[in-house]
């Protein structure tokens, strides 16, 4: 049986850990609120953009190279993870899905190219000696639009010079605070978005628009922009999910620490009781011996 002092030391250690996890949970909650707000702010922009593109492309798929489906040879997967850990299964879920997708493609004899965002994905693939085409780290926390533009430019450039024929993105989609879902979504070539139903969208799909300067010119500016927007959106979702996952993980850790402290305290009290009883027995024994 552990000595009193050992148990006391463990109780202290666990309660220190508990304080840390509690603080981390609070920080994650604050960051989550911020990330969620940015996500919500972004939504109307992304929706409007989709509706303009829907009006522009009008179902035709060959107006712009970014809309054209080439024969698949090389497929790129953009993997979004976090830079830091301690967020439950957040990263391993994404990486598992990425691994599954990649081996699926390899089985069909496609060349696969990988780009990663976040230190966790980079380290994961590096450990497995998998070559990455590009990597971006240090984005989380202070995500700025110019970083997103760099990623989008890189992808578009490689798509245009036919180094890659198709691009997918895998990331954690934010559902609710307690549930995040890993999704694999196609980024390039873009399927012309369905125009959204309801009064909010562009007038009707049948409306004939005049274009200035020209349909082609507008599309060639708008489509790269839309890729930026989609990546930005995915990054925001991923970030909100990361904080949500961290919050849940830290809450569980705090709860576990509480349980551990309870059981250790019980053990401590039992041990204390036992030592007092032992001492009493000694004293009583001694008195009895003196009497005799």
Q: What is the set of active-site residues?
A: 87
Q: Please, which residue, 43 or 126, has the CB nearer to another protein?
A: 43
Among 90, 136, 232, 268, binds another protein (CB under 8 A): 232
Q: Please, which residue, 41 or 179, has the CB nearer to another protein?
A: 41
Binding footprint of another protein, residue count (CB under 8 A):
28
Q: Please, which residue, 157 or 279, has the CB nearer to another protein?
A: 157
Confirm or reject binding of residue 290 to another protein (CB under 8 A). no
Query: Residue 153 CB, nearest distance to another protein (Å)?
Result: 12
Q: What are the two backbone dihedrals, phi and then psi, of residue 89, each rounded to the nearest 5 degrees?
A: -90, 10
* Angle formed at CA 190 by CA 184 and CA 194, multiple of 5 degrees: 95
Determine the longest span between alpha carbons in the chain, in angstroms. 117
Query: Residue 214 CB, nearest distance to another protein (Å)?
Result: 10
Among 33, 60, 103, 209, binds another protein (CB under 8 A): 209
Q: Which stretch binds another protein (CB under 8 A): 37-45, 89-97, 128-136, 243-251?
A: 37-45
Q: Please, which residue, 85 or 141, has the CB nearer to another protein?
A: 141
Q: What are the two backbone dihedrals, phi and then psi, of residue 110, each rounded to the nearest 5 degrees?
A: -95, 150
Q: Please, which residue, 2 or 211, has the CB nearer to another protein?
A: 211
Among 211, 262, 266, 275, binds another protein (CB under 8 A): 211
Q: Is 61 in contact with 192 (CB distance < 8 Å)?
A: yes
Among 222, 251, 256, 267, binds another protein (CB under 8 A): 222
What span, in angstroms and rounded, lies between the C-alpha atoms of 30 and 26? 6
Single out the residue of 90, 105, 122 nearest to residue 249, CA to CA. 90
CA 27 vs CA 13, 83, 236: distances in Å: 22, 16, 17
Q: Is 73 in contact with 110 (CB distance < 8 Å)?
A: yes
Residue where the block lists tokens 């009006």: 55
Single out the residue of 167, 200, 156 nearest to residue 64, CA to CA. 156
Among 69, 103, 186, 221, binds another protein (CB under 8 A): 221
Q: Please, which residue, 38 or 84, has the CB nearer to another protein?
A: 38
Q: Contacts with another protein in 141-160 (CB under 8 A)?
A: 145
Which string of x and - marks every residue 40-69 that binds another protein (by CB under 8 A)? xxx-xx--xx-xx--xx-------------
One DSSP character per residue, 237-286 reads HHHHHHHHHHHHHHHHHHHHHHHHHHHHHHHHHHHHHHHHHHHHHHHHHH
Residue length of the chain: 292
Residues interacting with another protein, by CB under 8 A?
Answer: 38, 40-42, 44-45, 48-49, 51-52, 55-56, 145, 202-203, 207-213, 217-218, 221-222, 229, 232
């Amino acid at each position: 049986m552990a000595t009193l002092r050992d148990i006391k030391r463990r109780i202290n250690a666990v309660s220190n850990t508990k304080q840390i996890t509690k603080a981390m949970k609070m920080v994650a909650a604050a960051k989550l609120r911020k990330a969620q707000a940015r996500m919500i702010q972004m939504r109307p922009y992304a929706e409007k953009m989709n509706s303009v593109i829907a009006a522009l492309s009008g179902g035709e798929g060959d107006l712009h190279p970014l809309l054209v489906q080439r024969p698949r040879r090389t497929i790129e997967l953009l993997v979004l993870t976090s830079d830091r850990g301690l967020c439950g299964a957040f990263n391993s879920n994404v990486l598992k899905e990425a691994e599954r997708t990649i081996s699926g493609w390899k089985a069909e004899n496609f060349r696969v190219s990988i780009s990663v965002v976040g230190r966790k994905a980079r380290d994961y693939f590096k450990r497995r000696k998998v070559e990455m085409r590009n990597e971006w780290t240090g984005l989380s926390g202070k995500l700025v639009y110019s970083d997103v533009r760099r990623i989008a430019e890189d992808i578009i450039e490689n798509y245009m010079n036919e180094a890659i024929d198709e691009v997918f993105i895998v990331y954690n989609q934010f559902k609710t605070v307690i549930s995040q879902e890993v999704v694999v979504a196609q980024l390039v070539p873009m399927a012309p978005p369905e125009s959204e139903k309801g009064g909010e969208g562009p007038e009707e799909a049948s409306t004939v628009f005049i274009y200035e300067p020209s349909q082609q010119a507008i599309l060639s500016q708008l489509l790269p922009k839309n890729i930026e927007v989609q990546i930005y959106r995915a990054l925001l979702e991923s970030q909100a999910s990361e904080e949500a996952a961290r919050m849940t993980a830290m809450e569980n850790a705090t709860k576990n620490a509480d349980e551990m402290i309870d059981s250790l305290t019980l053990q401590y009290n039992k041990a204390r009781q036992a030592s007092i009883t032992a001492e009493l027995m000694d004293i009583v024994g001694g008195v009895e011996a003196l009497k005799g």
